[in-house]
Amino acid sequence: MRAIKKVLDEKLYPDCASNWDDTLFRERILACVRPDQVVLDVGAGAGIVQQMNFKGHVARICGVDLDPRVAENPMLDEGRVSDAASIPYDDAMFDVVFADNVLEHLAQPQTVFGEVARVLKPGGVFLFKTPNKWHYVPIIARMTPHGFHERINRWRGRVAADVFPTLYRANSAGTVRRLAASAGLDVILIERIEKRPEYTRFSAPTYIVGAVYERLVNSTSLLERFRVLVVGKLRKPER
């Protein structure tokens, strides 16, 4: 199957490399940061996603995560073990805050959005990427136990320690808009994106089905709510 997958990859998605979603999000972040800025990675973890390494692009990068490995994350200047619902940094400290595949794990998203707003400087931005709850992958995830998710991700090459329970309480454009408003953040941009169907690439028939779905939801804006990713940019007002 590996050879067939490679052929289909090259034919259907020649511009999609591994972790295309993280590469896309990295580009969004790089477009917002400057060398003199202080940045916070919410849910930084152990530093396994290379695309989230911004050392050298900013003056200082900090991170928070419940995973104790965050303290040794090589991509951070400082990592603190903490719940995102109580970020252990001063008010108005960061120019940019970002969260890569974190919103789906939040038990208290309203509190977290409030904390992000608190630690942002006036005019600072909050960038996030998260699965869209209306896509078929999160729908299936909500219907299956966490052990099933661990097995699937282990098959995809991720160790169990890097697979966390999902709640999907902040995973639609409408919910994000409500959370942003409650935290006093302005919505600058919300994108819903679908590309190569990663979770259906285990056989030729399922790959084709996934590709047909991708073409369908990208064919009209009427179906954009069913695309796999929600990527957003929020801003704290200057005053």
State the total domains in the chain: 1
CB 104 within 8 A of CB 171: yes
Q: Assess whether pLDDT exceeds 50 at residue 25.
A: yes
Q: What is the pLDDT of residue 160?
A: 47
CATH number at residue 18: 3.40.50.150
Mean pLDDT for all residues in the chain: 92
Tell me the pLDDT tens digit for each residue of 36-45: 999 999 999 9
Q: Which domain holds residue 37?
A: 2-235
Tell me the pLDDT tens digit for each residue of 123-141: 999 999 999 999 999 998 8
Please return the burial class of 185, using the count of CB atoms within 10 Å of its CB with bins 0-12, 13-18 and 19+. buried
Order of strands, sheet of 94-100, starting from the edge strand that comes earlier in the sequence: 78-81, 60-65, 38-42, 94-100, 120-131, 229-235, 186-193
Residue in 131, 113, 231 with CA at minimum distance from that of residue 181 = 113
pLDDT (mean) for 68-85: 97
